Every structure is written in structure tokens, then in C-alpha cells.
Amino acid sequence: MGVTTIKEEITIKFAGDSGDGMQLTGTLFTENTAIKGMDLATFPDFPAEIRAPIGTLAGVSGFQLHFGSRIIYTPGDDYDVLVAMNAAALKTNLGRLKKGGTIIANTDGFDKKNLRLAKFEDGAQSPLEDDTLEGYDVFKIDITKLTRACLVDTSLGTKEKDRCKNMFVLGFLYWRYSRDLDPTIQYLKTKFKSKPEILKANIMVLKAGYHYGETTETFSNQVEVKSAPLAKGVYRSIMGNQALVLGLVTAAQKSGLPLFYGSYPITPASDILHGLARHKNFNVKTYQAEDEIAAVCAAIGAAYGGNLAVTGTSGPGLALKGEGIGLAVMLELPLVIVDVQRGGPSTGLPTKTEQSDLLQAVYGRNGECPLPVISISSPVDAFYTAIEACRIAVEHMVPVILLSDGYIANGSEPWKFPKAADLPAIEAKFAKERTGNGEHFLPYRRDERHVREWALPGTRGLAHRIGGLEKEAETGEVSYDPPNHEYMVKIREAKVARIAEHIPEQKILNGPEEGDLLVLGWGSTCGVIESVTRDLVSHGHKVAHVQLRYINPFPRNLGDILNNFKKILIPEINNGQLSKVIKSTYLKPVEQYNKIQGIPITKAELKAQILQVLKAN
């Protein structure tokens, strides 16, 4: 056993054909990493097709893991290690492997057929054989052969044997990174409880991979990453959509309201529907509507009936919901509209991430139709922000748009999950039943926050009518009176604006209170901004990071913060949408950094951009 090198952080990309089990391999390695106390972030990278033909470029499935002994903010820019199960996987991913990085290649995936499928030129040599990979540390292993050999005595068919290949890779990497096999063996035992043969095979191959590392001296050394300075406590790993699901269920429990989720499937929001549908024992009602319009309208119907009503979708679906959301604004009923953004416009890049629905969320309805818009900045944050969206909706009787995106939805992080008891309650304010002939019930009477009461059908003495026509203040009757309309437009606006008094002041995530540059972000850019600004701050730059959760209304101190910096840089995965809103609100010039490629901003890109802005100072 050679030397063990200690590293601070490592990024591994597992890539192979959709059928190669790379998502599972990545997930298991991730869990193994987490248990060792390292911090980490992951991001999967699915093909756009359901099942692209085996071996093709379109069929490559990837899983990226970034882990370290320091706090990890993103799944990593470039990889230190690339696992390539076939030629297509190598071709697709080589571009982001670091200079001098390690490649673990399954040679069996580089035969003629695979080269052709991966669109290497006719008759081209395997990249494993020519000088393509010069400068990289390449480990060529015929994983298929070794796996089959290891299982030669079992009764499994070739197909089943080959399905264990990924365990070989995993075992091999476990040796390389000085890991324990036990958690994975435990996992396999549960998964294949009813299939002892398969279980045995998987464990055998896993161990074979480990021993292969140990004995073949492929690597001259093992690598170890120490545990990270994470807060003490019990952790789990969680993906963004999953966290959002838990947030919604938690909000329902904390408000004592049954949850109603009306939705129509759409990538990348569908998993919220799938996740919630599993939680019927939490009184969660999922309703798969015939389209997005029906989904939002059913949710409004459920809100009217007293449920915690939520509807979820992605960009094109949000466009369709606009008219319905306008009615919710008029009815002043609580409603949460989740938009897991993806590449647009139109159908766009449905499986890719983007932040390009912000303006639609803020402005995309007819008439003067303001509503709160809040955004999620990381997979774990999805939990807390979902609860906050529900709180605002219920406590302020207003539809709330909650923005997530494809990167958050599918990314994962370790999460020191809270105790249910430690989370604050959400208080719905129901109109109370009335008996006798007291004064008339006034459905649009408001409290000091301009909030009306929630008057549920079925409540004695409150029968009243609501609708989309302009309503008279207090009585809620239809009114065409000119000054009343202006009053109602203003009061609906004021109600939303006043929410600023019921949300926290904006915090600076890191960096000085005043300085040269404020990097202002929202949504899934949080990790990369945090990582880069921390780095720059530690090198003495007067740079700070603010990440907005609240986009409408903005936190009340945001203007002051902006004023304390010489420059403001807004990085976005769009063409400058937050920039527009900031400029029209604060009349301040901002620098923009816009990447519109369906993929996250990398640390290197952002750092270069920030340094350039600073230099131009």
C-alpha cells in the first residue's frame, strides 16, 4: 500500500451510456462521501431523450460530484477525474476535464462500433490509442471483461453480468479514495433483498473493483479528503425538487391545512408532482389536471375551499397560467405557483436550466397585477423558501410565485435537516362564522397589513360572492366606480409592498458592508457567487455577495446596500432580467454578466468577470 495523498477538494464526473448506471454509481459514491463528513454538491446531466440508442452521444448520462474538506458551494467547474464508460461519454465530457486530470476508461466501450456511434471519424483510431489524451493520466481498464470474469461462476446471463459493471468502477474508486465499502454493501442488501443472486454478484464485483485498485498498482497512491468543517448534527442528502416537496408538506403541517397540489406534468417540475403523490398519508392531495390552466384554476378552487393550494410548472406552463393567476390576485386568495425554470423561449431547451422567467413572473399578466415573487438559491434552500412562499401566501392572502430552476431541481447537497418542532407555525386567518342578523359580512375588509380574511364556503353566515370583475372596497360587490378602481389597484399594490415589513432585511452573505463591488445574485447562481466572492475576499478584494430571495417586494434595506458599493455586478443565467428590475427600481447602473447556454456559470468565468469589472474601476 503506497502513500496516501491528502487533497482539499475533488470533482469527479461519472459518464457513461444511459444504461450504464452512472446515476446510481454517482449517488452511492456521494453518500459514501457524505458519511465521511465531507461537504459536497452534485449535479446530474441527463440526456434529452428518454432512451437514446446505446452508445450514441445523445445517450450519454452523467453525474458530477464535487466534494471536499472545505465548504463546497457548487458541483464544480472542471473535473479532476472523468469516468468514461464508452467513447461517447469521453467525447462529450473531455472538454471539461482539467489539464492533467485523471481518466478512468472502460476499454470495452471503445470498440469500432462504439467509436462509430460516438461519431468518431470513419476508421479513426480509438482516442485511448492515439495522442488525444496526451497530458492526462489515463487508466484503461477492460471493466466489462473483468466484471464478467469475476462473475464467471454465477448463473447470471451476460446482460445481467454486464449490469454490474458500475460496481467495479465504484469499488475501484473506493479504493482510490480510501473509502469503506460497508455503506454501499448495506444499500445493496436492501435493494436486492429479494434477488440474492444479483446481490451477491454486485457485492463480488464491488469488491473486485476495490481489490483491483489495491493489487494492480494502477495508482501509485491513494487519495484522501478529510472531513469538512460542517456544523455538527445529523445530515441527509437532498435534491432541490425533493426539498421543495418536503417544504410544501411541512408548510401544510405547520399551517394545519391540507395540501392541494394541482399540476400538469412538465420537465423539470414533474418530480414535484411525483414526490407529493407519495405523501398521501400527510393529507396531501395531488391532482393531475388536463392542462396548466386547469391546474392553476383547480388550485384556486382548492384555496377557495380552504386548502393550502399550490400549482407547479415550468416556463411555458407559467405563460398559460397567467390569466388564472390574475384572477387569484383579484380574489385575494392564498396560492403558491412554483415555476421550475428551464431554457426558453417557447419549448426552448426543456431539459436545461435557465433563469429567464423572472420578468414573466413579475409582469406577465394583464392589468395591474402585482404579486410577491421569491426565489430559491440551492437545493436545500428549496425547503425553506417553499415554506416561506406558503407563509406569505397564507398570511397575506395573495398568490406567490416561487422561482426555482432546473439546476436546483436536480442538484443535491447534504442537509442538516431541522426538527419539525423547531419550525415556526403559519397562521391562516379565517373569517369566523356568524349567526343572527348582525352587520353584513364584508369579505374585502382588510387588516392593517391590507389583508382580508379567508372566508370558507360552508362557514355559517358568510355566504358571499367573489369574482374577477373589479370589486367595491370592503363589500367585494362588483363596482365600475372609477375612484374605487384606482383605490383597489393601489391597495392590492400596497398589500404586496407591505410584505416588505414582514420579511427579514437583506443580509450580505459574505464580504464587507461597503466596498468596490457588490455581486448581486438570485436563484441558482448562489453557489458559484459565494464560492468566488469568498475566494476574492480572502485575497483582499472589497467584494461582497448578496443573494436575493425576495424579488417582489425587495427587502426594505436593499437600496441602502446597493448604495454602499461603487459597482454592482448582476450575474444571471438569462439576458439580464433582474438587472432590468433593479435598474427600474433603484435607478442605479449595474454591470451584467449573462450566460445563456442552459448551463450554470462556472467559477472561472465569474471570477474572470469580477476581476475585469474591478480592474475597470
Partner 1 sequence: MTKPLTINPLKAKDFATDQDVRWCPGCGDYSILKQVQSVFAELGLDKDEVVVISGIGCSSRFPYYTETYGMHSIHGRAPAFVSGLKMANPDLDVWMVTGDGDGLAIGGNHMMHILRRNFNVNIMLFNNQIYGLTKGQYSPTSEEYKKTKSSPYGSLDHPINPIAFALGCDASYVARSMDRDPKHLKAMLHRSHKHKGAAFLEIYQNCNIFNDGAFFEFTDKATKADRALFVEHGQPLIFGKDQEMGIRLNGLQPEIVNLKHGLFTEDDLWIHDERDIHKANILARFSEISGLPRPFGVIYAIDRPTYEEVAFAQLDDVKSVKGEGNLDQLLAGNMNWEIK
Ligand X SMILES: Cc1ncc(C[n+]2csc(CCOP(=O)(O)OP(=O)(O)O)c2C)c(N)n1
Q: Return the number of the residue (346 or 584) whose C-beta is nearest ligand X.
A: 346
Whole-angstrom distance, CA of residue 278 vs CA of residue 261: 12
Cβ proximity to partner 1: between 265 and 555 the closer is 265
For position 276 contacting a copy of itself by CB under 8 A, the verdict is: no
Q: Which of 16, 265, 521, 523 binds ligand X (CB under 6 A)?
A: 265
Q: Which is nearer to ligand X, 129 or 323 (CB)?
A: 323
> Which of ligand X, ligand SF4, a copy of itself, none does 274 bind, CB closer than 5 to 8 A by kind?
none
468 lies in the site for a copy of itself, by CB under 8 A: yes
Contact of residue 575 among ligand X, a copy of itself, ligand SF4, none (CB under 5-8 Å per partner type): a copy of itself
74's contact among ligand SF4, a copy of itself, ligand X, none, with CB below 5 to 8 A by partner kind, is none
Q: Kindly identify the residues of this chain, within the stretch 292-351, that bind partner 1 according to CB under 8 A.
A: 292-295, 297-307, 309, 316, 323-324, 326-327, 331, 346-347
Secondary structure (H, E, C), 104-154: EEEHHHHCHHHHHHCCCCCCCCCCCCCHHHCCCEEEEECHHHHHHHHCCCC
230 dihedral zone (left: phi>0; alpha: psi -120 to 50; beta): beta
239-278 binders of partner 1 (CB under 8 A):
246, 249-250, 253, 258, 260, 262, 264-267, 270, 273-274, 277-278
Asked if residue 329 binds a copy of itself (CB under 8 A), the reply is: yes
Q: The cell 391540507 sits on which residue?
A: 258
Q: Give the one residue of 129, 130, 137, 368 binding a copy of itself; rule: CB under 8 A.
A: 368
Asked if 467 interacts with a copy of itself (CB under 8 A), we say yes
Give the integer Cα–Cα distance in Å for 318 and 337: 8
Residues in region 42-101 near ligand SF4 by CB under 6 A: 50-51
Beta strand 515-522 with 543-548 is: parallel
Tell me how far, at minimum, the Cβ of 313 lies from a copy of itself, in Å: 10
DSSP class of residue 18? G
264, 289 contact by CB (below 8 A): yes
Classify residue 90 as exposed, middle or buried by CB count within 10 Å of its CB (0-12, 13-18, 19+).
buried
CB of 390 to partner 1, least distance (A): 14
Least spacing, CB of residue 245 vs partner 1, in Å? 9
Partner from a copy of itself, ligand X, partner 1, none contacting 588, C-beta within 5 to 8 A by type:
a copy of itself
Region 283-342 residues binding ligand X, contact defined as CB under 6 A = 292, 316-317, 320
For residues 466 and 494, which CB has a smaller minimum distance to partner 1 in the complex? Answer: 466
Site for partner 1 in 225-244 (CB under 8 A): 227, 230-238
As given in the structure block, the three cell numbers for residue 179 are 473509502
Rg of the chain in Å (alpha carbons): 27
Residue 164 or 403: the one with the smaller Cβ distance to ligand X is 403
**Pick from 192, 217, 194: nearest CA to 205:** 192
Give phi and psi for 522, each to the nearest 5.
-150, 150
3-state secondary structure of 486: helix
How many whole angstroms separate alpha carbon 267 and alpha carbon 278? 19
Among the listed residues 235, 180, 177, the one whose alpha carbon sits nearest the alpha carbon of residue 413: 235
